[in-house]
Structures are given as C-alpha cells and as structure tokens.
Chain A
Amino acid sequence: MSENLPVTGNKTGHSASMTDLAAPFRRLFPARVSGQALAALALAIGFSLIVPGFFSLGSMRSMMFQLPQLGLLALAMAIPMMSGGLNLAIIAIANACGLAMVTVLGHLPLAGHGTGYVGFCIVIVLMVGAVLGTALGGVTGWLIVRTKVHPILVTLGIMSIVEGTSIWLTRGEVVSGLPALYGQIGNASLAQIPLAFLAFLAVAGVVHLLLQHTAFGISIRMIGSNALATRYSAVDVDRVTIRIYALSGFLCFCAACLMLARFNSASAAYAKSYLLVTVLAAVLGGVDPNGGFGRVTGLVLAMIMLQLIATGFNLLGFSDYLTLAIWGLVLIGVACAQSMVKKRR
C-alpha cells in the first residue's frame, strides 16, 4: 500500500539529499511503471526496426486515433477494480450514452442554423449524456451498497437491463444522424496530434490527480485493501463506493463521445468484444484484481503497449484475432512473472 500512496507528510527525511530532485519523478513512475515504460519503448524500437513503415507519422497518428476509446473504457473498468470490485456494465452504459446523445441530436432542428447554434446544442447534448452515464453508474453503486451483493452480479444485472433497453428501443439497429460539426471536431487534430488522443490524456490526467492527490482517490484503494478497516477509519465506504461507480459511468460517457466521433453513429452492440479486454488491460496496467493497487500512469503505458502490439502486428499482416491472442498471452506472461517475483520476496 505504502508504495502506492502519495507521501504527503514525511518529506523531511528525504529533503536533505540532492537525489530528492528525482523524487517527484519517482512518485509518478515507480519501479513497476518504469519497467512498463521500458517495455513500451522496447516494443516501439523493436517494431520500428522490423516493420517497414511503423516509424512514420501515419502509423503514429492512427495509433493515437485508436487508443483513446479502449483507454477510456479500461479506465472505467480499472477504478472499480482498484476498490476490489468490477464493472461489467461499462460497454452497455457507454452505448446507452451514445444512443441517447445521437437520438436527442437527431430530433433537434439543426438544419439551416449556424455553427454557433449547432455547437451550443452539441454541448447541451453532451451534458445529457454525462448525466445519464453518471446516473447509471451511481445507481449501480447504490445497488451494490444497499444489497451488498458481489459487484460482478450487480453489474451483470445492470449490463443486461441497460443493454436490453438499448436493444429494445433501437430494435438492435444502428442510429445515425449526427451533425457534421460533431465529426469535424471529433476527428480534428492539433499539430498532427488527434484531438481524441489529447482528450484521453486530459481525462487520464484528471483521473490521476483524483486518485493520487485527493482523499476520495486514496479511499478507493483503501476500500480495495480492506473495506472494514477503511470504515473504522471514519471513511464513509458506502458513499465512496457510489462515487466510484458514478465516476466509472462518467468515464463510459467520455468513451461514448469518442465512439460517436469515430463511427459517426451509435448502436447497442458497438465495442461489445472490448468488455473482457478492458479487464486484461487494467491488470496489465498494474491494477490488482483483488483491489488496493493501481495507478493511471501504469494503465496508460499498458494501453500504449497493447496499441503498439496491435498496430505492429497489423502492419506485419497478422489478423486481429492473432493480436487478441497475443494480448492474452502477454497478460498471462506478465501475471506469471509478477507472482514469481512476489514468491521470491
């Protein structure tokens, strides 16, 4: 636990030495995360040497376009996991948000209006989506708290209900009808860097600050370590749990925004195969499936590693399925290596 919590009070012991200059850096990138960064770097260099066209602006840009969607969903999965839970409803909530936003936008009379008006409507609709995602997450958290049923079961039930409602209302069809402005913003780039990637980094940064530097973030991991001890430390465990799932729901909304821009439509069935992959990504990013440990920097680096593998093997002409198999094997390898290190200690 101590490695993961920010050192707030006892800086005096270190500050005498000159090496302390690296302390903030070490805090952001502890040993495990540095290992991941090295692995990601090694992957990048390896692929650049083997795969022609890997080290190019085009492939970098395509990676930055693809990464944020899975990245945000993995964040939405990782935060409940840090608290010792799991959220199987993330994809269903993200799709529900996407569908709600497209439907509302489709029914607004936007044709013939100026960019300013359309932009204003988009902002309003985004707020609708944000409220919906957060509310669905909050209800999930509330049910977990009130019934004390295992989060896997509660989120499984919520997943069925939310996904079923989406399918029922749309008859399983794809809903489109976004104003062109939305796609323009969503697929825009700033200095060759896709806006979606910058948005992902911004969200990840905020979540990082939330997890490492607020009482809420520390409570999340304390609950994951020992919920009873956390309660005896005068933390309102129930309220924190509800907030955890509400935050997870909000991150699903963020993912939904990017999915809308990418597919230019919404459906109840998008990204369904990502559900269990996000669990793998979170574990690869150093999130302990039993709760208590995990940080955003590790998760982001794990996402970069997975994306490097996907793009690299894709350029080599491997199929998507082989990439998925390799992701699974990487996770098994990392998990085995971790447990061996733990045993030696």
Chain B
Amino acid sequence: MPDFATLRSRPEFWLAGVIVILCAALSLSTPSFLSLSNFVDLTESYAVQAIMATGLFVVLIAGGIDISFAATASVAQYVAALLATHYGLSPFLVIPAGLVVGTGLGFLNAALIHYARVNSIIITIATMNVYFALLMYATGGHSIYNLPEWWSERVTFLQFETSGGDLIRITLPIVVMVVSLLLCWVLLTLSRTGRQLYAMGGNAEAARRIGLNISKLQFFAYGFAGFMAALAGLVQANRVGEAVPNALYGTELSVLSAAVLGGASLLGGVGTIGGITLGILLLAIIQNGLNLLDISPYCFEIITGAIILASTTLTALSVQSRKRSRLVEEAPIPEQAHV
C-alpha cells in the first residue's frame, strides 16, 4: 500500500478526487445523475472514444503520437461495411477483415515513421489526411445504411430492471470497452512487450543499446493503435446502425485530450491505463452533467479546454515544486515513474 505522499504525487489521485467531487456536486444538484441507468448511458456514449484512446495510449507510451486513428477507424469501418453489404460476407470474415485493414494502416504509419525517420506527428497528420480524403473520394461521402442484422442489431449481454423501474442494458460497446481496457492493462503491465514499450518511450536510444528491437516495437505500437481504431470503428457502426465515412473524423483532438488528462506524457514512457480511464470518465461526466443541469451544450468545449489547461498546469507545477524541494533538501529521492 503506497503512503499518502506517493499517492499525492500521482495524477490519477487528483483526477479521481476531481471526479468524486464532481459526482457529489452533480448528484446533489440533479437527482437523475446518481442512478445506475445514467451511469451506463454515459459509459456507452463514450465507449468508442475510450477504445480509440487505448490504442493512442500505447503509442504515447512508446514515445510517439498518432493523429490518424479516427481516419483509420473510418476506413476500416467502411471497408467492413462494404464487404458485409455489397458482398454479403459472413461476420467471421467481415470482422477480421476490418481489423486487418486497421492494423495494416497502422503498420503503414510505423513503416513511414521508422524507415523514413520522420517526426510521428507529421507523418500521422499526413496519413490522416490521405486516409480520410481517399475514403471520402472513393465513397463520395455516402453512408451505408443497410448493414446486415448481425451487425446493426443491439447486442445486450446483461439486462435487468432496477428497483426504480429503470431498464439497465449492458450492451456490446461497454463490454468491448472494458475488454479493451483490460487487454491494454495486461499488455502494458504484465507482458514483456509492454515493459519494453515503456522503456522505448522513456529513452529510445537506451532501449536500443540494451538490445530491444526498436523496429518491432514501433510496428507493434502503431499496429495496435490501428487495430484498436478499427475495433472502435466496428463498434461505432453497431451503436448507430450505419457506416458514416465522416462520423469519427474530428474526434482526434478530444481523444488526445482524454489521454493527456489521464496523465499520459507526450514525451513518452509515462502514463497508466487507470489514468486514461479516469480521463475519459471525467470528460463523459462533465458532458453528462451539463446536459442534466440544462446548461447550454455550447459551454462544453470551454469547460473541456479549461480542464485540460488546469490539470496539465497543476501536474507540471507540482512536478516543478517537487524538483525544487529536492534541490533544497539535497536528499536523493528515487525518480517517480511518471515524472
């Protein structure tokens, strides 16, 4: 059990505190907030973004950045939808095909970043434009509405009625989100590859010199991001019952803010899956709370921006003040993993 001082220095701790305070305030001001059905609803509405965030998170840990994931998700979703409707393939072919397309586009990013040695933000902005523009060109912007039933039908894993009479449905998006988060946690904390990704993100040159296969790790990170993006795309089509080529376009920066809110560093090597989960939860609760409080939805963006600035600033300032106190004390404190 970590003591309070170490706990206090973790961004997850502060984030959890903010969420608890926010929840308390919201449940006092609106009676409908603190109910299981509301919580399930807000989780479902942010499930797709959460799945994409896990992929982006792995890339951030590896010391890169991926802006192209929303475009990747749209391409994979549309290709799968086309295979399902136009060619009438079975789900056992369509779903793997979509995931393979996403992973392939991720590999393409990795190849450009690793072999051409170009800054990852530049390459992924370029590929985002290429993927998305080619998709819009090829489809003419038309949506696919006639998805087969196995895809568009709402899949409910668990259904029950609360004592208040609300019907609670644990649907596919929530289950996929939870599985993705768990998978990502296992990958990053328990697997050898995960620890190597942290090492590479912390210091790529040091990782190379201790014999890690950097190219393999790069391909893994961006391939994983592509895979998760494709999964999010497929789930999104299930949620809305259609494949819209530009539905996910424009979510790049909000997913990035969720990841950063959760304490992932843009410099790599820092961040936990719990932090990401809390970051997404915070954004979801704010939006949900604003809706319930009947505050203009136009305010949402302002509040998101203010929270991003406030949380990154506070984290940075607390890190700085700790550095300063260390200098004064001249006592070597072991470096925190997330500094």
Instruction: Give the interface of A toward B (CB within 8 A).
Output: 86, 88, 143, 147-150, 152-154, 156-165, 167-168, 171-172, 276-277, 279-280, 283, 289-290, 319, 321-325, 327-329, 331-332, 335-336, 338-340, 342-343
Inside 8 A of A340's CB, which chain B residues have their CB? Answer: 116
Cα(A340)–Cα(B266), bound, Å: 27
> For A86, A329, A342, which residue has the most chain B Cβ atoms within 10 angstroms?
A329
CB-nearest residue of chain B to A323: B133
B305 CB contact (under 8 Å) in A158, A319, A324: A158
| Residue with the highest number of chain B CB atoms closer than 10 Å, among A157, A280, A323 | A157
Given contact pairs A161-B302, A332-B112, A332-B126, A154 touches B133 in the complex (Cβ within 8 A) = no
Given A150-B267, A280-B126, A321-B136, do A335 and B304 touch, yes or no (CB 8 Å)?
no
Interface contact A332-B312, CB-CB below 8 Å: no
Does B52 count as interface, using CB distance less than 8 angstroms? no
Known: A149-B313, A161-B305, A171-B298. 11 other contacts (CB 8 A): A143-B309, A157-B308, A160-B301, A160-B308, A279-B121, A280-B126, A323-B133, A324-B132, A332-B123, A336-B116, A339-B118
**25 A-B pairs whose Cβ atoms sit less than 8 Å apart in the complex:** A86-B121, A147-B316, A150-B266, A150-B267, A153-B266, A158-B305, A160-B257, A160-B302, A163-B301, A163-B305, A164-B299, A164-B303, A168-B298, A168-B302, A280-B125, A321-B134, A322-B133, A322-B134, A323-B133, A325-B133, A328-B127, A335-B116, A335-B122, A336-B116, A343-B117
A338 to B136, CA, bound (A): 29
Closest chain B CB from A163 CB (angstroms)? 6
Tier of interface size on chain B = 35 or more
A208 to B313, CA, bound (A): 34
Number of A-B contacts (CB under 8 A): 140
Partner of B129 from A88, A156, A276, A336 at Cβ < 8 Å: A276
* B306 at the A interface (CB under 8 A): yes
Q: A290 touching B119 by the CB < 8 A rule?
A: yes
Instruction: Tell me, rounded to whole Å, the shortest Cβ–Cβ distance linking A278 to chain B.
Output: 10
Taken together as a complex, chains A and B put the C-alpha atoms of A167 and B298 apart, in Å, by: 6
Nearest opposing residue in chain B for A319, CB measure: B137
- 6 A-B pairs with the lowest CB-CB distances in the bound complex, closest first: A160-B305, A164-B301, A164-B302, A161-B305, A157-B309, A325-B133
Using A147-B312, A150-B266 as known contacts, say yes or no to A161 and B129 having CB atoms under 8 A apart: no
- The answer to whether B129 and A335 have CB atoms under 8 Å apart is no
Given contacts A149-B313, A158-B305, contact A322 B137 (CB under 8 A): yes
Q: Report the bound CA distance from A298 to B224 in whole Å.
A: 37
CB distance from A340 to the nearest CB of B (A): 8
